[in-house]
Structure 1
Amino acid sequence: MEETLEQIQARHRKEQRDLVARITNKKKSATKKTRKGINDECAELERQLKARQADEVARATGPVTGKEEEEEEEEPQDEAVDEVLSERMQNTSIKESEDGAPTPPTSSPPPGGGGGGKKRNRQKERMARRAAEIEAAAAKAEEEAKDMTDHRGLERKYMAEVFVANDLVEKDIRPDGHCLFSAVADQLQQHGIPLRGGGGGTDGNDGNDEDPPYRIVRKAATGWMAGRPDDYAPFLEEPLDAYLAKIRDTAEWGGQLELAALAARYGVEIRVVQDGRTERIEPPPGGVEAEKTKTIWLAYYRHGFGLGEHYNSLRKKA
Protein backbone atom coordinates (compact mmCIF):
# COMPACT_ATOMS: atom_id res chain seq x y z
CA MET A 1 0.00 0.00 0.00
CA GLU A 2 1.42 3.34 -1.06
CA GLU A 3 2.11 6.03 1.52
CA THR A 4 0.06 9.21 1.50
CA LEU A 5 1.82 12.57 1.33
CA GLU A 6 1.13 13.08 5.05
CA GLN A 7 2.68 9.71 5.88
CA ILE A 8 5.73 10.49 3.76
CA GLN A 9 6.19 13.85 5.47
CA ALA A 10 5.84 12.24 8.93
CA ARG A 11 8.45 9.65 8.01
CA HIS A 12 10.73 12.38 6.66
CA ARG A 13 10.50 14.27 9.94
CA LYS A 14 11.53 11.17 11.88
CA GLU A 15 14.40 10.45 9.47
CA GLN A 16 15.69 13.99 9.86
CA ARG A 17 15.47 13.85 13.64
CA ASP A 18 17.39 10.57 13.60
CA LEU A 19 20.00 12.04 11.27
CA VAL A 20 20.47 15.11 13.46
CA ALA A 21 21.00 12.88 16.51
CA ARG A 22 23.41 10.64 14.60
CA ILE A 23 25.45 13.58 13.31
CA THR A 24 25.52 15.18 16.76
CA ASN A 25 27.03 11.99 18.20
CA LYS A 26 29.59 11.73 15.41
CA LYS A 27 30.74 15.34 15.81
CA LYS A 28 30.89 15.01 19.59
CA SER A 29 33.38 12.14 19.26
CA ALA A 30 35.53 13.88 16.61
CA THR A 31 39.14 14.84 17.29
CA LYS A 32 41.31 17.35 15.46
CA LYS A 33 42.66 14.49 13.37
CA THR A 34 39.27 13.08 12.36
CA ARG A 35 37.09 16.20 12.37
CA LYS A 36 37.43 16.99 8.65
CA GLY A 37 36.57 13.43 7.61
CA ILE A 38 33.59 13.29 9.95
CA ASN A 39 32.34 16.70 8.73
CA ASP A 40 32.59 15.50 5.14
CA GLU A 41 30.80 12.27 6.01
CA CYS A 42 28.02 14.18 7.81
CA ALA A 43 27.60 16.57 4.89
CA GLU A 44 27.27 13.63 2.51
CA LEU A 45 24.69 11.94 4.76
CA GLU A 46 22.71 15.18 4.83
CA ARG A 47 22.92 15.57 1.04
CA GLN A 48 21.78 12.01 0.39
CA LEU A 49 18.83 12.29 2.79
CA LYS A 50 17.64 15.59 1.34
CA ALA A 51 17.95 14.32 -2.23
CA ARG A 52 16.03 11.14 -1.49
CA GLN A 53 13.28 12.91 0.42
CA ALA A 54 12.87 15.54 -2.27
CA ASP A 55 12.52 12.79 -4.87
CA GLU A 56 9.92 10.96 -2.76
CA VAL A 57 7.88 14.15 -2.27
CA ALA A 58 8.08 14.94 -5.99
CA ARG A 59 6.83 11.49 -6.93
CA ALA A 60 4.03 11.67 -4.38
CA THR A 61 2.76 15.11 -5.37
CA GLY A 62 3.26 14.92 -9.13
CA PRO A 63 3.81 17.96 -11.35
CA VAL A 64 2.78 21.34 -9.93
CA THR A 65 0.51 23.51 -12.06
CA GLY A 66 -1.55 26.71 -11.95
CA LYS A 67 -1.78 28.65 -8.70
CA GLU A 68 0.31 26.13 -6.77
CA GLU A 69 3.19 26.75 -9.15
CA GLU A 70 2.92 30.51 -8.57
CA GLU A 71 3.02 30.00 -4.80
CA GLU A 72 6.05 27.71 -4.94
CA GLU A 73 7.94 30.23 -7.03
CA GLU A 74 7.81 32.59 -4.07
CA GLU A 75 10.03 30.29 -2.00
CA PRO A 76 11.70 26.88 -2.69
CA GLN A 77 9.91 24.01 -0.95
CA ASP A 78 12.73 22.96 1.35
CA GLU A 79 14.21 26.39 2.13
CA ALA A 80 13.12 26.45 5.77
CA VAL A 81 14.38 22.93 6.34
CA ASP A 82 17.65 23.62 4.56
CA GLU A 83 18.33 26.56 6.86
CA VAL A 84 17.86 24.45 10.00
CA LEU A 85 19.77 21.42 8.76
CA SER A 86 22.72 23.40 7.49
CA GLU A 87 22.82 25.42 10.71
CA ARG A 88 22.74 22.40 13.02
CA MET A 89 24.75 19.94 10.99
CA GLN A 90 27.63 22.32 10.31
CA ASN A 91 27.89 23.24 14.00
CA THR A 92 27.08 26.91 13.49
CA SER A 93 25.61 28.84 16.38
CA ILE A 94 22.31 30.68 16.59
CA LYS A 95 22.96 34.39 16.34
CA GLU A 96 22.59 36.29 19.58
CA SER A 97 20.79 39.55 20.08
CA GLU A 98 22.44 42.55 21.67
CA ASP A 99 21.38 41.54 25.21
CA GLY A 100 22.96 38.06 24.82
CA ALA A 101 19.73 36.10 24.37
CA PRO A 102 19.29 33.84 21.31
CA THR A 103 17.47 35.50 18.45
CA PRO A 104 14.17 33.66 17.93
CA PRO A 105 13.62 32.14 14.49
CA THR A 106 11.82 34.38 12.05
CA SER A 107 8.33 33.15 11.35
CA SER A 108 6.44 33.45 8.13
CA PRO A 109 4.34 36.60 7.73
CA PRO A 110 0.74 36.07 8.83
CA PRO A 111 -1.62 35.14 6.00
CA GLY A 112 -3.97 37.74 4.63
CA GLY A 113 -2.31 40.69 6.35
CA GLY A 114 -1.12 43.17 3.79
CA GLY A 115 -2.24 45.61 1.23
CA GLY A 116 -1.21 43.38 -1.65
CA GLY A 117 -3.72 40.66 -0.77
CA LYS A 118 -1.06 37.97 -1.06
CA LYS A 119 -2.54 34.48 -1.08
CA ARG A 120 -1.79 32.13 1.77
CA ASN A 121 1.05 29.72 1.01
CA ARG A 122 -0.01 26.57 2.84
CA GLN A 123 2.97 24.54 1.69
CA LYS A 124 5.32 27.19 3.04
CA GLU A 125 3.54 27.06 6.40
CA ARG A 126 3.85 23.28 6.54
CA MET A 127 7.56 23.48 5.81
CA ALA A 128 8.01 26.12 8.49
CA ARG A 129 6.34 23.86 11.05
CA ARG A 130 8.52 21.00 9.88
CA ALA A 131 11.63 23.16 10.29
CA ALA A 132 10.58 24.09 13.83
CA GLU A 133 10.19 20.42 14.73
CA ILE A 134 13.67 19.66 13.40
CA GLU A 135 15.05 22.59 15.39
CA ALA A 136 13.51 21.24 18.59
CA ALA A 137 14.75 17.70 17.89
CA ALA A 138 18.29 18.95 17.24
CA ALA A 139 18.32 20.91 20.50
CA LYS A 140 17.12 17.86 22.41
CA ALA A 141 19.76 15.65 20.77
CA GLU A 142 22.52 18.09 21.70
CA GLU A 143 21.30 18.21 25.30
CA GLU A 144 21.22 14.42 25.56
CA ALA A 145 24.69 14.14 24.03
CA LYS A 146 26.17 16.12 26.93
CA ASP A 147 25.36 13.27 29.33
CA MET A 148 26.54 10.44 27.10
CA THR A 149 29.55 8.31 28.11
CA ASP A 150 32.56 9.18 25.99
CA HIS A 151 33.33 5.60 24.92
CA ARG A 152 35.75 6.77 22.27
CA GLY A 153 37.73 8.87 24.73
CA LEU A 154 37.92 6.07 27.30
CA GLU A 155 39.02 3.61 24.63
CA ARG A 156 41.76 5.93 23.42
CA LYS A 157 42.96 6.53 26.99
CA TYR A 158 43.41 2.82 27.67
CA MET A 159 45.08 2.28 24.31
CA ALA A 160 47.59 5.06 24.97
CA GLU A 161 48.55 3.56 28.34
CA VAL A 162 49.26 0.15 26.79
CA PHE A 163 51.21 1.70 23.91
CA VAL A 164 53.50 3.55 26.32
CA ALA A 165 53.97 0.53 28.62
CA ASN A 166 55.06 -1.70 25.69
CA ASP A 167 56.99 0.88 23.61
CA LEU A 168 54.50 0.65 20.75
CA VAL A 169 53.63 3.14 18.04
CA GLU A 170 50.52 2.90 15.92
CA LYS A 171 50.59 2.30 12.18
CA ASP A 172 47.29 3.46 10.68
CA ILE A 173 45.61 0.90 8.45
CA ARG A 174 43.05 1.88 5.84
CA PRO A 175 39.48 1.15 7.07
CA ASP A 176 38.33 -0.71 3.96
CA GLY A 177 37.13 -4.10 5.21
CA HIS A 178 40.62 -5.63 4.88
CA CYS A 179 42.03 -3.93 7.99
CA LEU A 180 42.60 -7.07 10.09
CA PHE A 181 44.50 -8.80 7.29
CA SER A 182 46.43 -5.65 6.32
CA ALA A 183 47.46 -5.11 9.96
CA VAL A 184 48.62 -8.73 10.31
CA ALA A 185 50.55 -8.46 7.03
CA ASP A 186 52.27 -5.30 8.27
CA GLN A 187 53.24 -7.01 11.53
CA LEU A 188 54.57 -10.13 9.81
CA GLN A 189 56.67 -8.01 7.47
CA GLN A 190 58.05 -6.05 10.43
CA HIS A 191 59.25 -9.34 11.94
CA GLY A 192 60.66 -10.64 8.67
CA ILE A 193 58.12 -13.48 8.45
CA PRO A 194 57.30 -14.44 4.83
CA LEU A 195 53.63 -14.03 3.94
CA ARG A 196 53.69 -16.93 1.48
CA GLY A 197 55.00 -20.47 1.64
CA GLY A 198 55.63 -22.62 4.70
CA GLY A 199 52.85 -24.48 6.43
CA GLY A 200 49.98 -22.66 4.79
CA GLY A 201 46.81 -23.96 3.23
CA THR A 202 45.95 -27.43 2.08
CA ASP A 203 46.76 -26.59 -1.51
CA GLY A 204 50.04 -24.84 -0.69
CA ASN A 205 48.79 -21.64 -2.37
CA ASP A 206 48.78 -18.49 -0.24
CA GLY A 207 48.42 -16.17 -3.22
CA ASN A 208 50.74 -15.02 -5.97
CA ASP A 209 53.19 -12.20 -6.49
CA GLU A 210 50.51 -9.92 -7.93
CA ASP A 211 48.31 -10.16 -4.83
CA PRO A 212 48.45 -7.30 -2.31
CA PRO A 213 49.67 -8.35 1.16
CA TYR A 214 46.19 -8.41 2.70
CA ARG A 215 44.98 -10.80 -0.02
CA ILE A 216 47.89 -13.17 0.62
CA VAL A 217 47.07 -13.19 4.34
CA ARG A 218 43.38 -13.80 3.59
CA LYS A 219 44.29 -16.83 1.49
CA ALA A 220 46.69 -18.08 4.16
CA ALA A 221 43.95 -17.93 6.79
CA THR A 222 41.30 -19.65 4.65
CA GLY A 223 43.75 -22.28 3.43
CA TRP A 224 44.62 -23.17 7.00
CA MET A 225 40.95 -23.32 8.04
CA ALA A 226 39.96 -25.40 5.00
CA GLY A 227 42.52 -28.06 5.96
CA ARG A 228 41.12 -28.34 9.49
CA PRO A 229 37.31 -28.13 9.12
CA ASP A 230 36.59 -29.79 12.48
CA ASP A 231 38.39 -26.95 14.27
CA TYR A 232 36.38 -24.15 12.68
CA ALA A 233 33.07 -25.36 11.18
CA PRO A 234 31.35 -25.81 14.60
CA PHE A 235 31.66 -22.06 15.23
CA LEU A 236 29.86 -21.06 12.02
CA GLU A 237 26.18 -20.66 11.20
CA GLU A 238 26.73 -21.39 7.51
CA PRO A 239 28.63 -24.05 5.53
CA LEU A 240 32.39 -23.74 5.93
CA ASP A 241 33.05 -23.63 2.16
CA ALA A 242 30.67 -20.69 1.67
CA TYR A 243 32.18 -18.83 4.61
CA LEU A 244 35.76 -19.36 3.44
CA ALA A 245 34.88 -18.13 -0.05
CA LYS A 246 33.66 -14.83 1.41
CA ILE A 247 36.77 -14.40 3.57
CA ARG A 248 39.11 -15.33 0.72
CA ASP A 249 37.54 -13.43 -2.19
CA THR A 250 35.68 -10.39 -0.80
CA ALA A 251 36.14 -7.56 1.69
CA GLU A 252 34.32 -9.52 4.42
CA TRP A 253 35.54 -8.46 7.86
CA GLY A 254 37.76 -10.88 9.73
CA GLY A 255 37.45 -11.71 13.42
CA GLN A 256 38.37 -14.17 16.15
CA LEU A 257 38.37 -17.27 13.94
CA GLU A 258 40.70 -15.67 11.41
CA LEU A 259 43.07 -14.45 14.13
CA ALA A 260 43.27 -17.96 15.59
CA ALA A 261 43.94 -19.41 12.14
CA LEU A 262 46.66 -16.86 11.41
CA ALA A 263 48.36 -17.43 14.77
CA ALA A 264 48.52 -21.16 13.92
CA ARG A 265 49.43 -20.65 10.25
CA TYR A 266 52.38 -18.32 10.93
CA GLY A 267 53.41 -19.71 14.33
CA VAL A 268 53.07 -16.37 16.13
CA GLU A 269 51.41 -15.06 19.26
CA ILE A 270 48.92 -12.31 18.45
CA ARG A 271 48.23 -9.69 21.12
CA VAL A 272 45.15 -7.57 20.51
CA VAL A 273 44.94 -4.35 22.50
CA GLN A 274 41.33 -3.35 22.97
CA ASP A 275 39.01 -1.45 25.26
CA GLY A 276 39.97 -2.43 28.81
CA ARG A 277 42.17 -5.46 28.12
CA THR A 278 44.85 -7.08 25.97
CA GLU A 279 43.89 -10.44 24.47
CA ARG A 280 46.52 -13.08 23.71
CA ILE A 281 46.02 -15.59 20.91
CA GLU A 282 48.74 -18.25 20.97
CA PRO A 283 49.52 -20.77 18.24
CA PRO A 284 48.17 -24.22 19.15
CA PRO A 285 50.34 -27.33 19.44
CA GLY A 286 50.92 -28.78 16.02
CA GLY A 287 50.95 -25.41 14.29
CA VAL A 288 53.83 -24.04 12.24
CA GLU A 289 57.10 -24.77 13.99
CA ALA A 290 59.26 -21.78 14.84
CA GLU A 291 62.61 -21.50 16.63
CA LYS A 292 61.06 -18.90 18.90
CA THR A 293 57.48 -17.76 18.87
CA LYS A 294 57.31 -14.12 17.86
CA THR A 295 54.67 -11.73 19.08
CA ILE A 296 52.72 -9.42 16.82
CA TRP A 297 50.56 -6.57 18.12
CA LEU A 298 47.25 -5.26 16.86
CA ALA A 299 44.99 -2.44 18.09
CA TYR A 300 41.28 -3.21 17.91
CA TYR A 301 38.86 -0.27 18.01
CA ARG A 302 35.19 -0.75 18.77
CA HIS A 303 34.26 2.94 19.08
CA GLY A 304 37.04 4.93 17.41
CA PHE A 305 35.94 4.84 13.77
CA GLY A 306 32.70 6.02 12.21
CA LEU A 307 32.38 3.00 9.93
CA GLY A 308 32.56 0.48 12.79
CA GLU A 309 35.13 -1.93 14.18
CA HIS A 310 38.73 -1.47 13.03
CA TYR A 311 42.24 -2.92 13.40
CA ASN A 312 45.55 -1.04 13.29
CA SER A 313 49.09 -2.40 13.38
CA LEU A 314 51.27 -1.69 16.45
CA ARG A 315 54.97 -1.46 15.74
CA LYS A 316 57.80 -1.37 18.25
CA LYS A 317 59.46 2.01 18.60
CA ALA A 318 62.64 2.30 16.55
Structure 2
Amino acid sequence: MNEENQQQLADEDEESLLARHRREKKELQAKVQSLKKAKVDKKKKKDLQEEIGRLEDDLESRHAEELNRLNTLKISESSDADQHPNEPEQQQPAVEEKQPKLSKAQRRREKKSQEDKEREAQIKAEEALHKDSPRIREDKKIAEILAKRGLISFPVPADGDCLYNAIKHQLSRIGVHDHETADLRQLAADYIEDNRDQLIFYMTNPQSEDVMSEEEFRKYCFQVRNTKSWGGEIEIKALSSSLRCPIEIVQASGPSPVHGENGDPARKLVLTYHRHMYRLGEHYNSTVPLLAEKDDDGGEDEQQDDG
Protein backbone atom coordinates (compact mmCIF):
# COMPACT_ATOMS: atom_id res chain seq x y z
CA MET A 1 0.00 0.00 0.00
CA ASN A 2 1.57 3.32 -1.06
CA GLU A 3 1.81 6.48 1.11
CA GLU A 4 -1.18 8.14 -0.58
CA ASN A 5 -3.42 5.14 0.14
CA GLN A 6 -2.14 4.94 3.73
CA GLN A 7 -2.96 8.61 4.32
CA GLN A 8 -6.38 8.17 2.72
CA LEU A 9 -7.08 5.19 4.99
CA ALA A 10 -5.96 7.13 8.06
CA ASP A 11 -8.50 9.88 7.27
CA GLU A 12 -11.45 7.47 6.82
CA ASP A 13 -13.82 5.90 9.30
CA GLU A 14 -15.45 2.51 8.67
CA GLU A 15 -18.57 3.96 7.04
CA SER A 16 -16.68 6.11 4.54
CA LEU A 17 -14.23 3.25 3.84
CA LEU A 18 -17.06 0.85 2.97
CA ALA A 19 -18.70 3.56 0.84
CA ARG A 20 -15.46 4.01 -1.11
CA HIS A 21 -15.15 0.24 -1.53
CA ARG A 22 -18.65 0.08 -3.01
CA ARG A 23 -17.84 2.94 -5.37
CA GLU A 24 -14.58 1.31 -6.51
CA LYS A 25 -16.38 -2.00 -7.12
CA LYS A 26 -18.94 -0.25 -9.33
CA GLU A 27 -16.14 1.48 -11.25
CA LEU A 28 -14.37 -1.86 -11.75
CA GLN A 29 -17.60 -3.54 -12.87
CA ALA A 30 -18.06 -0.83 -15.49
CA LYS A 31 -14.49 -1.33 -16.67
CA VAL A 32 -14.95 -5.11 -16.80
CA GLN A 33 -18.10 -4.76 -18.89
CA SER A 34 -16.22 -2.52 -21.29
CA LEU A 35 -13.39 -5.06 -21.60
CA LYS A 36 -15.82 -7.93 -22.18
CA LYS A 37 -17.41 -6.07 -25.09
CA ALA A 38 -14.07 -5.76 -26.89
CA LYS A 39 -13.85 -7.87 -30.06
CA VAL A 40 -10.72 -10.03 -29.85
CA ASP A 41 -9.57 -13.46 -31.03
CA LYS A 42 -9.58 -16.58 -28.81
CA LYS A 43 -6.02 -16.15 -27.52
CA LYS A 44 -6.52 -12.49 -26.64
CA LYS A 45 -9.88 -13.33 -25.12
CA LYS A 46 -8.19 -15.75 -22.71
CA ASP A 47 -5.58 -13.11 -21.83
CA LEU A 48 -8.41 -10.62 -21.33
CA GLN A 49 -10.23 -12.97 -18.96
CA GLU A 50 -7.05 -13.45 -16.94
CA GLU A 51 -6.53 -9.68 -16.80
CA ILE A 52 -10.11 -9.20 -15.56
CA GLY A 53 -9.51 -11.86 -12.91
CA ARG A 54 -6.31 -10.13 -11.80
CA LEU A 55 -8.06 -6.76 -11.55
CA GLU A 56 -10.86 -8.25 -9.46
CA ASP A 57 -8.45 -10.15 -7.18
CA ASP A 58 -6.24 -7.07 -6.72
CA LEU A 59 -9.23 -4.94 -5.73
CA GLU A 60 -10.61 -7.59 -3.37
CA SER A 61 -7.19 -8.09 -1.78
CA ARG A 62 -6.66 -4.33 -1.32
CA HIS A 63 -10.12 -3.89 0.21
CA ALA A 64 -9.50 -6.75 2.64
CA GLU A 65 -6.11 -5.29 3.58
CA GLU A 66 -7.61 -1.84 4.17
CA LEU A 67 -10.35 -3.28 6.38
CA ASN A 68 -7.73 -5.32 8.19
CA ARG A 69 -5.63 -2.22 8.85
CA LEU A 70 -8.66 -0.23 10.03
CA ASN A 71 -9.75 -3.04 12.37
CA THR A 72 -6.20 -3.39 13.70
CA LEU A 73 -6.07 0.37 14.35
CA LYS A 74 -9.38 0.22 16.23
CA ILE A 75 -8.20 -2.67 18.39
CA SER A 76 -4.91 -0.87 19.12
CA GLU A 77 -6.67 2.38 20.08
CA SER A 78 -9.17 0.51 22.25
CA SER A 79 -6.39 -1.41 23.99
CA ASP A 80 -4.41 1.77 24.68
CA ALA A 81 -7.49 3.49 26.09
CA ASP A 82 -8.24 0.56 28.40
CA GLN A 83 -4.69 0.32 29.70
CA HIS A 84 -4.09 4.06 30.15
CA PRO A 85 -7.42 5.83 30.90
CA ASN A 86 -7.07 9.63 31.12
CA GLU A 87 -3.31 9.28 31.22
CA PRO A 88 -1.55 12.43 29.94
CA GLU A 89 0.92 12.04 27.14
CA GLN A 90 4.44 11.65 28.41
CA GLN A 91 7.48 12.88 26.63
CA GLN A 92 9.52 10.07 25.14
CA PRO A 93 12.96 9.71 26.68
CA ALA A 94 15.79 10.98 24.50
CA VAL A 95 17.58 7.62 24.70
CA GLU A 96 15.65 4.40 24.31
CA GLU A 97 16.45 1.47 26.56
CA LYS A 98 18.33 -1.29 24.79
CA GLN A 99 16.04 -4.24 24.18
CA PRO A 100 17.30 -7.73 25.02
CA LYS A 101 18.46 -9.67 21.95
CA LEU A 102 16.01 -12.38 20.87
CA SER A 103 17.09 -15.82 19.81
CA LYS A 104 16.56 -16.96 16.22
CA ALA A 105 13.75 -19.29 17.29
CA GLN A 106 12.04 -16.53 19.29
CA ARG A 107 12.19 -14.16 16.32
CA ARG A 108 10.65 -16.83 14.08
CA ARG A 109 7.86 -17.50 16.58
CA GLU A 110 7.10 -13.79 16.94
CA LYS A 111 7.09 -13.32 13.16
CA LYS A 112 4.77 -16.30 12.68
CA SER A 113 2.49 -15.07 15.49
CA GLN A 114 2.21 -11.68 13.79
CA GLU A 115 1.49 -13.31 10.41
CA ASP A 116 -1.21 -15.47 12.02
CA LYS A 117 -2.84 -12.39 13.57
CA GLU A 118 -2.79 -10.53 10.25
CA ARG A 119 -4.19 -13.55 8.39
CA GLU A 120 -6.96 -13.93 10.98
CA ALA A 121 -7.80 -10.22 10.75
CA GLN A 122 -7.95 -10.45 6.95
CA ILE A 123 -10.23 -13.47 7.11
CA LYS A 124 -12.57 -11.62 9.49
CA ALA A 125 -12.56 -8.58 7.22
CA GLU A 126 -13.45 -10.74 4.23
CA GLU A 127 -16.18 -12.48 6.22
CA ALA A 128 -17.66 -9.08 7.07
CA LEU A 129 -17.87 -8.26 3.36
CA HIS A 130 -18.87 -11.73 2.12
CA LYS A 131 -20.64 -13.49 4.99
CA ASP A 132 -22.17 -16.14 2.77
CA SER A 133 -19.82 -16.24 -0.22
CA PRO A 134 -18.90 -19.56 -1.90
CA ARG A 135 -15.33 -19.10 -0.64
CA ILE A 136 -16.41 -18.71 3.01
CA ARG A 137 -18.73 -21.74 2.81
CA GLU A 138 -16.02 -23.82 1.15
CA ASP A 139 -13.37 -22.83 3.71
CA LYS A 140 -15.68 -23.66 6.63
CA LYS A 141 -16.55 -27.08 5.20
CA ILE A 142 -12.90 -27.98 4.57
CA ALA A 143 -11.97 -26.77 8.07
CA GLU A 144 -14.70 -29.00 9.57
CA ILE A 145 -13.47 -32.05 7.64
CA LEU A 146 -9.85 -31.44 8.69
CA ALA A 147 -10.75 -30.73 12.33
CA LYS A 148 -12.34 -34.18 12.66
CA ARG A 149 -8.94 -35.62 11.68
CA GLY A 150 -6.94 -33.30 13.94
CA LEU A 151 -5.64 -31.27 11.00
CA ILE A 152 -5.71 -27.66 9.86
CA SER A 153 -5.07 -26.14 6.43
CA PHE A 154 -1.60 -24.64 5.89
CA PRO A 155 -1.67 -21.84 3.26
CA VAL A 156 0.77 -21.69 0.35
CA PRO A 157 1.08 -18.80 -2.15
CA ALA A 158 -1.24 -18.69 -5.16
CA ASP A 159 1.56 -18.21 -7.67
CA GLY A 160 1.00 -21.07 -10.13
CA ASP A 161 3.24 -23.38 -8.08
CA CYS A 162 0.68 -24.00 -5.32
CA LEU A 163 0.33 -27.75 -5.97
CA TYR A 164 4.10 -28.28 -6.05
CA ASN A 165 4.75 -26.08 -3.01
CA ALA A 166 1.99 -27.84 -1.06
CA ILE A 167 3.54 -31.23 -1.88
CA LYS A 168 7.00 -29.90 -1.04
CA HIS A 169 5.68 -28.78 2.37
CA GLN A 170 4.03 -32.17 2.95
CA LEU A 171 7.27 -33.97 2.08
CA SER A 172 9.10 -31.88 4.67
CA ARG A 173 6.50 -32.97 7.24
CA ILE A 174 7.54 -36.63 6.71
CA GLY A 175 11.25 -35.80 6.70
CA VAL A 176 11.87 -35.66 2.94
CA HIS A 177 13.79 -32.46 2.14
CA ASP A 178 15.38 -33.46 -1.17
CA HIS A 179 12.93 -31.83 -3.60
CA GLU A 180 12.60 -28.18 -4.53
CA THR A 181 9.64 -26.90 -6.56
CA ALA A 182 11.59 -27.13 -9.84
CA ASP A 183 12.56 -30.73 -9.01
CA LEU A 184 8.91 -31.69 -8.50
CA ARG A 185 7.95 -30.10 -11.82
CA GLN A 186 10.75 -32.07 -13.51
CA LEU A 187 9.57 -35.33 -11.89
CA ALA A 188 5.97 -34.72 -12.99
CA ALA A 189 6.94 -33.87 -16.59
CA ASP A 190 9.25 -36.88 -16.86
CA TYR A 191 6.55 -39.24 -15.60
CA ILE A 192 3.92 -37.83 -17.97
CA GLU A 193 6.29 -38.22 -20.95
CA ASP A 194 7.30 -41.75 -19.93
CA ASN A 195 3.66 -42.82 -19.47
CA ARG A 196 2.12 -41.02 -22.40
CA ASP A 197 0.14 -44.02 -23.67
CA GLN A 198 -1.62 -44.48 -20.31
CA LEU A 199 -2.29 -40.77 -19.68
CA ILE A 200 -3.02 -39.28 -23.10
CA PHE A 201 -6.71 -40.34 -23.04
CA TYR A 202 -7.23 -38.11 -19.97
CA MET A 203 -5.50 -35.13 -21.58
CA THR A 204 -7.73 -33.02 -23.82
CA ASN A 205 -7.60 -29.69 -25.58
CA PRO A 206 -9.54 -27.25 -23.31
CA GLN A 207 -11.25 -25.59 -26.32
CA SER A 208 -12.18 -28.59 -28.49
CA GLU A 209 -12.18 -31.23 -25.70
CA ASP A 210 -10.50 -33.60 -28.18
CA VAL A 211 -7.55 -35.76 -27.09
CA MET A 212 -4.32 -33.77 -27.33
CA SER A 213 -2.28 -34.01 -30.51
CA GLU A 214 1.40 -34.94 -30.33
CA GLU A 215 2.38 -31.27 -30.60
CA GLU A 216 -0.07 -30.27 -27.86
CA PHE A 217 1.24 -33.06 -25.64
CA ARG A 218 4.85 -31.90 -26.04
CA LYS A 219 3.82 -28.31 -25.32
CA TYR A 220 1.94 -29.48 -22.21
CA CYS A 221 5.00 -31.29 -20.84
CA PHE A 222 7.18 -28.26 -21.59
CA GLN A 223 4.84 -26.02 -19.61
CA VAL A 224 4.76 -28.44 -16.66
CA ARG A 225 8.56 -28.50 -16.59
CA ASN A 226 9.43 -24.86 -17.34
CA THR A 227 6.55 -22.53 -16.50
CA LYS A 228 4.21 -21.75 -13.61
CA SER A 229 1.31 -23.62 -15.19
CA TRP A 230 -1.16 -24.90 -12.62
CA GLY A 231 -1.02 -28.56 -11.66
CA GLY A 232 -4.03 -30.84 -11.45
CA GLU A 233 -4.97 -34.52 -11.27
CA ILE A 234 -2.50 -35.59 -13.97
CA GLU A 235 0.41 -34.01 -12.07
CA ILE A 236 -0.84 -35.39 -8.73
CA LYS A 237 -0.90 -38.93 -10.17
CA ALA A 238 2.55 -38.38 -11.69
CA LEU A 239 4.07 -37.18 -8.41
CA SER A 240 2.33 -39.80 -6.31
CA SER A 241 3.85 -42.51 -8.49
CA SER A 242 7.29 -40.88 -8.81
CA LEU A 243 7.61 -40.14 -5.08
CA ARG A 244 5.94 -43.41 -4.02
CA CYS A 245 3.66 -41.42 -1.72
CA PRO A 246 -0.14 -41.68 -1.51
CA ILE A 247 -1.59 -38.17 -2.01
CA GLU A 248 -5.04 -37.40 -0.58
CA ILE A 249 -6.97 -34.33 -1.75
CA VAL A 250 -9.49 -33.02 0.81
CA GLN A 251 -12.28 -30.96 -0.74
CA ALA A 252 -15.50 -29.35 0.46
CA SER A 253 -17.87 -31.51 -1.61
CA GLY A 254 -17.67 -35.15 -2.59
CA PRO A 255 -15.17 -37.78 -1.39
CA SER A 256 -11.48 -37.06 -0.81
CA PRO A 257 -9.67 -38.95 -3.60
CA VAL A 258 -6.39 -40.68 -2.80
CA HIS A 259 -3.87 -41.09 -5.61
CA GLY A 260 -1.47 -44.00 -5.14
CA GLU A 261 -3.51 -45.39 -2.24
CA ASN A 262 -1.61 -48.68 -2.38
CA GLY A 263 1.57 -46.89 -1.31
CA ASP A 264 3.10 -46.68 2.17
CA PRO A 265 0.50 -45.07 4.55
CA ALA A 266 3.36 -43.60 6.59
CA ARG A 267 4.33 -41.49 3.54
CA LYS A 268 0.82 -40.21 2.88
CA LEU A 269 0.54 -36.54 1.88
CA VAL A 270 -2.68 -34.62 2.62
CA LEU A 271 -3.58 -31.51 0.58
CA THR A 272 -6.71 -29.34 0.43
CA TYR A 273 -8.36 -28.37 -2.86
CA HIS A 274 -10.17 -25.03 -3.16
CA ARG A 275 -12.45 -24.15 -6.09
CA HIS A 276 -13.44 -20.69 -4.86
CA MET A 277 -10.36 -19.29 -3.10
CA TYR A 278 -9.22 -17.25 -6.11
CA ARG A 279 -11.09 -16.12 -9.23
CA LEU A 280 -8.31 -17.14 -11.61
CA GLY A 281 -8.67 -20.86 -10.89
CA GLU A 282 -8.24 -23.74 -8.50
CA HIS A 283 -5.85 -23.66 -5.57
CA TYR A 284 -4.11 -26.22 -3.37
CA ASN A 285 -2.99 -25.80 0.24
CA SER A 286 -1.02 -28.08 2.53
CA THR A 287 -2.09 -29.32 5.98
CA VAL A 288 -0.52 -29.68 9.43
CA PRO A 289 -1.66 -31.25 12.70
CA LEU A 290 -3.58 -28.80 14.90
CA LEU A 291 -0.97 -28.96 17.66
CA ALA A 292 1.89 -28.43 15.19
CA GLU A 293 0.19 -25.26 13.89
CA LYS A 294 -0.07 -23.90 17.43
CA ASP A 295 3.53 -24.69 18.33
CA ASP A 296 5.37 -24.39 14.99
CA ASP A 297 9.11 -23.52 14.94
CA GLY A 298 9.60 -24.81 18.48
CA GLY A 299 11.45 -27.78 19.90
CA GLU A 300 14.44 -28.52 17.69
CA ASP A 301 15.09 -24.88 16.70
CA GLU A 302 15.00 -23.84 20.35
CA GLN A 303 17.57 -26.48 21.27
CA GLN A 304 19.83 -25.48 18.39
CA ASP A 305 19.74 -21.78 19.27
CA ASP A 306 20.17 -22.30 22.99
CA GLY A 307 22.87 -24.93 22.56
Taking structure 2 as the reference length, what is the TM-score of the superposition? 0.49
Query: Higher relative contact order at CA 8 Å, sep ≥6: structure 1 or structure 2?
Result: 2
Structure that is richer in helix per residue = 2
| Higher CA-based Rg | 1
